C-alpha cells in the first residue's frame, strides 16, 4: 500500500508540473487513442479517479465520470429542483404538507445535483455555511458530484416572490427596467460583476436570468424583470449583463447565466401569463416573431451558457401549438439548428407534475399536451431537445423511460455530458466550498451598497415637472407634507413635518403602485395583471388630492400604466423601477437627480392597448409618454434639460 501511494504521489506531482503545457495544448484537441493517455493512467486508481484530476482536460474528465455513472445517477442530473434552507442554515428536513422532499433525500436518494435556492438571504455567513453543508452531503454520494446552486434575481426590489426575491443582505439595485432606463451598458456590466461577487461569496453558481423578453404587450405581468419594449436596447444591455456574470470566458470565478424565456414571452395573448391555464397562448398577429428573437441571437453570440423556454404555446405560427419546451420545432429546429445554440436548455418550472404553490393548486404547465401522462410529458420534452427539467424531482420517470426502451441511455448522455461539463468548467469538482468570512465581508459591503443606491436614484425618470416645482430645495422644517405609500418616519428623520390631511399640507408626496387587477390565489395574487387603469373611485380620490395641494407622484412602474389623469393632475410625476423611500426623497429634494428615460411607451388607455397587436412594439395609439421620454431638472445656472427622444 505504501509503495502504491508513493507512486500515485509522484504521478500527481508530475501531472501538476505538466499543468502549463496541458492548459496550452489540451489532449482533447489531439487525435484520441481509445482512452485518453492521462485518463488511462488515472482511471485505474479508484482512490484518485481521472475525473478528480484537475490536470486533465475537461472533456476527458467528463467522459471518465460519465462512463462510471449508473442510469439512476444520470437521471438525477436532469433535474433542477427547489432547495430550502432549514433553521439556522441547517439542511431542510422537508415537509409533507408542503409537498417538499428533504435535502438528504434529494441528494442521497434521488441523486440530484442542481438546485434553485429559495428564500431571502439575510445572513450571508449563514447561507455560505448552508451551502457548504449541502456540498458535504453531495460528497457523501458514491461519485461525490458537487451541487450547482442557482438563484432567481436577488438584487432588485420586487414584490413577486414567484419570480424573484427581495435583495435582503445583497446590494440593492433598481429592476432591470431601471437599468434600461439609464441606457448605460457599462453600468449594467458593473451591476452584473457586483452581483457575481455576491453570488460567488455564498456559493451561487448559476443565475436564472437575464430575462430578455421584449415587452410588446403592456398588460403582461412579468414586464418588471425585462429591459423593456425595445429589442435592440435589450440586446445591447444583455450582452453586458452576461459578460458581467460570466466574465469573458466561463471559469472558476464565473456565474453561469440562464437566458430566458425563449423565444420571447412578451406577446402574451390579452397580456395574460402562461403560469396559468387562461394565459397559455402566445400570439403573433403582427407576424413579428423575428423581433422577439433579436435578444436571443445577441445572447448566443455573447456566450450564453443556458437558455430557458417559456411555458406558452405559439398560436398562429408555423410551429405546433404546444408549450415551447415540448416543441421540437422551437427547441431543436429554431434554437439549436437555426440559431446555432449548443449550450444547456432547461425548462421553466413544473411542466410534468401538478403541485401546490403558496397554498394554490397549480396544474403542470403542459400546455397543448395536457392529456399526456407524466411519463409521456417527460419523453416529449427530451425528444424536443431539452436537457434539464426545471422545478421537478422525478428522476424515476427517466429511469422508467430507459427501461421501457422509449428513451435511450445515449440520449441521456448527450444532456448529462453538457451538465457535467458546466460543473467542471465552473471548478466545482476542484473546490466546491466557500469561505464563511469572505461571504460576510463581500456580501452587502459598503462599496457595493453605495453603487446600488446611486443607481436607484439615477434610474428615476421625470415625466412631468410643472413650473419646475422639483427639486424641493431649501425646504423649511415647518413645511407640511401629506404622504401616502411610505412611513412618516422617513420625513421626520429629515426634520420635516407630516400632516394627516391633504388640505393641511403645503405639498403631497404619493408613492403609488401602478394599477392592476387583483387576482385570487396565494401564488397568482402576486402577479400584477389585468387593467392598466385605476378604477373610477381611485381616480376620483386622487383628483381630490391634486386639487387640494401641489402633489408629487412617484409611480412604481413594474409595467406600463395608462394614467393620463395623473400626468395631468399632479404637479410633478416620476417613474421608478425599484427604489427605496430614501432614494425617492433624495431625488425630489435635489440631493440626487433623475437621469432615466422610459424603457417603454405609457399608453393612454386600456382600449388603446387592446387595439394593438401583442407582438408589435410601440403600436398603441397616442401614448401619453413615448419610449425615451425623460426630463431633467433646471440646473442652477438656469438651463432647462430635456432628454425626451430615442
Q: What pLDDT does 99 receive? A: 84
Confidence tier at 641 by pLDDT (50, 70, 90): low
What's the whole-number mean pLDDT along residues 591-597? 98
The DSSP H or E segment spanning 581 is helix 581-589
- 152, three cell numbers: 432567481
Residue 27 scores a pLDDT above 90: no
Residue 383 DSSP SS3: helix
Angle of CA points 345, 348, 352, to nearest 5°: 105
Q: Which residues on neighbouring strands pair with residue 258, listed in sequence order? A: 306
Q: Which residues on neighbouring strands pair with residue 388, listed in sequence order? A: 346
- The DSSP annotation for 144-192 comes to -PPPEEEES--SB--S-TTT----TTS--B--HHHHHHHT-HHHHHHHH
**pLDDT digit string (tens) for 110-139?**
999 999 999 989 999 999 999 999 999 999
Name the nearest CA neighbour of 215 among 469, 559, 556, 581: 559
Contact status, residue 634 vs residue 640, Cβ threshold 8 Å: yes
The active-site residue out of 348, 387, 554, 601 is: 348
* Cα dist from 9 to 58, 169, 410, whole Å: 22, 44, 36
**pLDDT digit string (tens) for 63-86?**
999 999 999 999 999 999 999 999
Q: What pLDDT does 156 receive? A: 87
CB atoms within 10 A of CB 205: 24
Can you tell me the distance from the alpha carbon of 518 to that of 522, in angstroms, rounded to the nearest whole number? Answer: 12
* Cα dist from 329 to 318, 385, 530, whole Å: 9, 10, 31
CB atoms within 10 A of CB 642: 11
Among 119-128, 172-181, 189-198, 454-463, the range scoring the smallest mean pLDDT is: 119-128
H-only helix segments in 363-475: 374-384, 395-403, 409-425, 436-442, 446-458
Convert 327-348 to b/e letters by CB count within 10 Å (16 or more is b): bbbbbbbbbbeebebebbbbbb
Percent of residues, the chain, with pLDDT higher than 90: 86
What's the whole-number mean pLDDT along residues 22-34? 37
How many angstroms from the chain centroid is the CA of residue 639? 40
Confidence tier at 17 by pLDDT (50, 70, 90): very low
Q: What pLDDT does 460 receive? A: 98
Q: What pLDDT does 639 receive? A: 53
Can you tell me the distance from the alpha carbon of 555 to that of 461, in angstroms, rounded to the nearest whole number? Answer: 10
Q: What pLDDT does 193 receive? A: 98
- Residue 287: phi and psi, rounded to 5, are 50, 45
Q: Is the peptide bond before 261 cis (omega within 30 degrees of 0)?
A: yes
Residue 1 scores a pLDDT above 50: no
Name the nearest CA neighbour of 174 among 225, 139, 133: 225
Residue identified by cell 439595485 is 173
Residue 200 DSSP SS3: helix
**pLDDT digit string (tens) for 464-507?**
999 999 999 989 989 999 999 999 999 999 999 999 999 999 99
Q: What pLDDT does 45 receive? A: 63
- The torsion angle over the Cα atoms of residues 193, 196, 200 and 201, rounded to 10 degrees, is 70
Residue 428 scores a pLDDT above 90: yes
Confidence tier at 416 by pLDDT (50, 70, 90): very high
Percent of residues, the chain, with pLDDT higher than 70: 89
Contact status, residue 160 vs residue 357, Cβ threshold 8 Å: no
**pLDDT digit string (tens) for 532-574?**
999 999 999 999 999 999 999 999 999 999 999 999 999 999 9
Determine whether 348 is an active site residue: yes
- 414, three cell numbers: 448527450
Contact status, residue 124 vs residue 144, Cβ threshold 8 Å: no
Amino acid at each position: 500500500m505504501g509503495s502504491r501511494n508513493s507512486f500515485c504521489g509522484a504521478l500527481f506531482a508530475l501531472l501538476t508540473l505538466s499543468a502549463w503545457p496541458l492548459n496550452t495544448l489540451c489532449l482533447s484537441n489531439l487525435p484520441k487513442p481509445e482512452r485518453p493517455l492521462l485518463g488511462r493512467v488515472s482511471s485505474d486508481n479508484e482512490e484518485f479517479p481521472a475525473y478528480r484530476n484537475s490536470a486533465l482536460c475537461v472533456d476527458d474528465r467528463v467522459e471518465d465520470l460519465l462512463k462510471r455513472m449508473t442510469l439512476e445517477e444520470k437521471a438525477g442530473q436532469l433535474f433542477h429542483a427547489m432547495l430550502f434552507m432549514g433553521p439556522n442554515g441547517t439542511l431542510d428536513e422537508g415537509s409533507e404538507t408542503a409537498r417538499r422532499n428533504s435535502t438528504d433525500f434529494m441528494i442521497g436518494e434521488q441523486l440530484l445535483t442542481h438546485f434553485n435556492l429559495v428564500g431571502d438571504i439575510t445572513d450571508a455567513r449563514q447561507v455560505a455555511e448552508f451551502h457548504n453543508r449541502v456540498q458535504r452531503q453531495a460528497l457523501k454520494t458514491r461519485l461525490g458530484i458537487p451541487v450547482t446552486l442557482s438563484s432567481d434575481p436577488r438584487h432588485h426590489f420586487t414584490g413577486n416572490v414567484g419570480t424573484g426575491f427581495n435583495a435582503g443582505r445583497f446590494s440593492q439595485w433598481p429592476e432591470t427596467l431601471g437599468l434600461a432606463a439609464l441606457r448605460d451598458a457599462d453600468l449594467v456590466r458593473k451591476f452584473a460583476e457586483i452581483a457575481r461577487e455576491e453570488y460567488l461569496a455564498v456559493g451561487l453558481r448559476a443565475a436564472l436570468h437575464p430575462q430578455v423578453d421584449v415587452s410588446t404587450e403592456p398588460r403582461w405581468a412579468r414586464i418588471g424583470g425585462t429591459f423593456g419594449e425595445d429589442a435592440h436596447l435589450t440586446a445591447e444591455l444583455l450582452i453586458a449583463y452576461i459578460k458581467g456574470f460570466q466574465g469573458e470566458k466561463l471559469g472558476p470565478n464565473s456565474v453561469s447565466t440562464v437566458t430566458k424565456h425563449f423565444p420571447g414571452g412578451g406577446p402574451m395573448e390579452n397580456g395574460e401569463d402562461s403560469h396559468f391555464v387562461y394565459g397559455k397562448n402566445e400570439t403573433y398577429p403582427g407576424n413579428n416573431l423575428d423581433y422577439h428573437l433579436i435578444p436571443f441571437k445577441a445572447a448566443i453570440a455573447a456566450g450564453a451558457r443556458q437558455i430557458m423556454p417559456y411555458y406558452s404555446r405559439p398560436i398562429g405560427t408555423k410551429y405546433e401549438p404546444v408549450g415551447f419546451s415540448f416543441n421540437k420545432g422551437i427547441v431543436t429546429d429554431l434554437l439549436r439548428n437555426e440559431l446555432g445554440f449548443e449550450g444547456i436548455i432547461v425548462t421553466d418550472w413544473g411542466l410534468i407534475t401538478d403541485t401546490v404553490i403558496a397554498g394554490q393548486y397549480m396544474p403542470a404547465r403542459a400546455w397543448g399536451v395536457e392529456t399526456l401522462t407524466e411519463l409521456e410529458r417527460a419523453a416529449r420534452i427530451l425528444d424536443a431537445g431539452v436537457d434539464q427539467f426545471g422545478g421537478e424531482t422525478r428522476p424515476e420517470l427517466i429511469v422508467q423511460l430507459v427501461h421501457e426502451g422509449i428513451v435511450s441511455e445515449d440520449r441521456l448522455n448527450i444532456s448529462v455530458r453538457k451538465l457535467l461539463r458546466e460543473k467542471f468548467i465552473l471548478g466545482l469538482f476542484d473546490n466546491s466550498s466557500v469561505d464563511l468570512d469572505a461571504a460576510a465581508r463581500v456580501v452587502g459591503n459598503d462599496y457595493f451598497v453605495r453603487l446600488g443606491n446611486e443607481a436607484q436614484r439615477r434610474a428615476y425618470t421625470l415625466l412631468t415637472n410643472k413650473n419646475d416645482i422639483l427639486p424641493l430645495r431649501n425646504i423649511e422644517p415647518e413645511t407640511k407634507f401629506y404622504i401616502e405609500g411610505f412611513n412618516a418616519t422617513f420625513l421626520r428623520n429629515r426634520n420635516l413635518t407630516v400632516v394627516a390631511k391633504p388640505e393641511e399640507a403645503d405639498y403631497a408626496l404619493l408613492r403609488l403602485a401602478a394599477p392592476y387587477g387583483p387576482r385570487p390565489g396565494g401564488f397568482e395574487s402576486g402577479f400584477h395583471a389585468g387593467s392598466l387603469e385605476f378604477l373610477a373611485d381611485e381616480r376620483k380620490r386622487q383628483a381630490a388630492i391634486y386639487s387640494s395641494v401641489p402633489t408629487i407622484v412617484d409611480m412604481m412602474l413594474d409595467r406600463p400604466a395608462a394614467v393620463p389623469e395623473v400626468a395631468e393632475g399632479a404637479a410633478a410625476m416620476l417613474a421608478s423601477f425599484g427604489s427605496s423611500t430614501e432614494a425617492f426623497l433624495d431625488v425630489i429634494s435635489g440631493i440626487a437627480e433623475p437621469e432615466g428615460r422610459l424603457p417603454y411607451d405609457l399608453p393612454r388607455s386600456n382600449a388603446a392597448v387592446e387595439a394593438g397587436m401583442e407582438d408589435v412594439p410601440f403600436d398603441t395609439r397616442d401614448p401619453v409618454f413615448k419610449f425615451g421620454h425623460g426630463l431633467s431638472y433646471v440646473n442652477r445656472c438656469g438651463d432647462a434639460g430635456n432628454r425626451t427622444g430615442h
